[in-house]
Amino acid sequence: MCIIVDIVEFISWEPQPGIVKCRFRDVWGKEHIIIEKSAVVSAEILTPDSLYPRKGEVPCSPIKEWVDSGGKEIITVSTEKPSAVETVDGLTEFDLLKSQIEV
């Protein structure tokens, strides 16, 4: 299971194969930024010359699923497992629309 993210920038070559910046918004409209190894979020070989933004995926595990009062199907996920990914703010749990998740 993965959160669908936008890879928006190549940050650094170190450590190999490189570090990228990713963004996504939770169901409440808050933007989250993740700085992570490119191999964790994409099977592609990314470089500073790659075209951005591009689709990426952050591994996650489900915590709970629920429907809000407006009928939106929401899933709460954690990025702590399986890859110990966190946002620049140190967050690892997010409420997302089911459409933001790839199984």
* Residues 73-96: tens digit of each pLDDT: 999 999 999 999 999 999 999 999
Q: What is the pLDDT of residue 16?
A: 82
Predicted confidence band of residue 17 (pLDDT cuts 50, 70, 90): confident
Q: Span 43-58, mean pLDDT?
A: 96
In sequence order, the 6+-apart residues with CB closer than 8 A to the CB of 21 are 7, 8, 9, 10, 11, 33, 34, 35
Domains in the chain, number: 1
Mean pLDDT for the chain overall: 96
Q: Which domain holds residue 58?
A: 2-102
**pLDDT at residue 21 tops 90:** yes
Residue 15 has pLDDT above 90, yes or no: no
